[in-house]
C-alpha cells in the first residue's frame, strides 16, 4: 500500500513467529484454488481490515530463497496499490504497522527476502514522493 507522500505500509512480525520483530510487507499465503490476487485481497482484509480492488494491484517484484544455499524454498511476490478502502489497523495482536519512507525502508530490519523486494519498491516510492512535491 503506497500512500501519497511516497510511504509504504510495513507490518511487524509477531513475537511468537519466525522472523519475530522484523518488518515485512503485509500479505500471506495463497490457498488452494485461489488466484494470487484473490489471496492478497483476502489476506489484507483479514490482517488490516482494508478492502483492495484486484484491478488496482500491480506486480513489483518476486524474490525466492535458494535451497542450494540452505535458504527456504519459498517465493514471495510483491504487489503494489495506490488505492484502498478503510483505515489499516493491526488486526492480529503484536503486529504493529508503520508508514515508511523510501529512506527509512532501507534501515528497517527486514526478513531476508523483503530486502530485494524493498529495493525494487524504492524508485516507486521516490517517484510518488516527488510527484507530491510538485502538486
Ligand atoms: N516476509 C518473509 N517471510 C519469510 C521469509 N523467509 C521465510 O521463510 N518466510 C516465511 O514465510 C512465511 C510467510 O507466511 P505469512 O506471511 O502467512 O506469515 P505467517 O507467519 O503468519 O504464516 P503462518 O503462521 O501461516 O505460517 C512465514 O512463515 C515466514 O516466516 C522472508 O524473507 N520474508
pLDDT, tens only, 68-120 = 999 999 999 999 999 999 999 999 887 899 999 999 999 999 999 999 999 99
**Cβ neighbourhood burial of 104 (10 Å; 0-12, 13-18, 19+):** middle
99, part of any domain: yes
The confidence band for 8, taking pLDDT boundaries of 50, 70 and 90, is: very high
Ligand 1 atom index nearest CA of 115: 32
47, part of any domain: yes
Domain that holds residue 31: 2-127
Q: 35 pLDDT exceeds 80?
A: yes
Mean pLDDT for 36-58 is 97
135, part of any domain: no
48, part of any domain: yes
Q: 135 pLDDT exceeds 80?
A: no
**1 close to 79: Cβ distance less than 8 angstroms:** no
Pull the grid cell for residue 64. Answer: 525466492
pLDDT at 57: 98
* Ligand 1 close to Cβ of residue 31 (< 6 A): no
82, part of any domain: yes
Residue with CA closest to ligand 1 atom 20: 17
Concatenating the DSSP letter of every residue in 82-123 gives: S--BS-----STT--EEEE-HHHHTTS---TTHHHHHHHHHH
pLDDT at 121: 98
Distances (CA, A) of 80 to 40, 53, 68, 103: 11, 11, 30, 18
pLDDT at 93: 81
* Ligand 1 close to Cβ of residue 10 (< 6 A): no
Which domain CATH number covers 33? 3.90.79.10
**How many A from CA of 37 to the centre of ligand 1?**
18
133, part of any domain: no
Give SS3 for 19.
coil
* Ligand 1 close to Cβ of residue 114 (< 6 A): yes
78, part of any domain: yes
134, part of any domain: no
**How many A from CA of 19 to the centre of ligand 1?**
8
% of the chain beyond a pLDDT of 90: 93
Q: Is the ipTM of this complex over 0.85?
A: yes
* Ligand 1 close to Cβ of residue 18 (< 6 A): yes
* Ligand 1 close to Cβ of residue 14 (< 6 A): no
CA distance 49 to 73: 29
Number of domains in the chain: 1
Q: 51 pLDDT exceeds 80?
A: yes
DSSP 126: H
Round the average pLDDT of the chain to a whole number and report it: 96
Q: What is the CA radius of gyration of the chain?
A: 15
pLDDT at 134: 78
Amino acid at each position: 500500500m503506497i500512500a501519497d507522500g511516497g510511504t509504504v505500509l510495513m507490518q511487524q512480525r509477531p513475537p511468537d513467529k519466525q522472523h519475530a520483530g522484523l518488518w515485512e510487507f503485509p500479505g500471506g499465503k495463497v490457498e488452494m484454488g485461489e488466484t494470487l490476487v484473490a489471496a492478497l485481497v483476502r489476506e489484507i482484509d483479514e490482517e488490516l481490515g482494508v478492502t483492495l480492488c484486484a484491478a488496482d494491484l500491480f506486480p513489483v517484484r518476486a524474490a525466492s530463497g535458494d535451497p542450494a544455499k540452505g535458504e527456504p524454498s519459498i517465493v514471495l511476490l510483491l504487489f503494489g496499490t495506490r488505492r484502498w478502502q478503510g483505515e489499516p489497523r493491526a488486526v492480529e495482536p503484536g503486529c504493529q504497522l508503520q508508514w515508511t519512507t523510501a529512506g527509512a525502508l532501507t534501515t528497517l530490519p527486514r526478513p531476508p527476502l523483503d530486502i530485494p523486494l524493498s529495493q525494487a519498491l524504492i524508485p516507486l516510492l521516490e517517484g510518488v514522493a516527488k510527484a507530491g512535491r510538485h502538486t
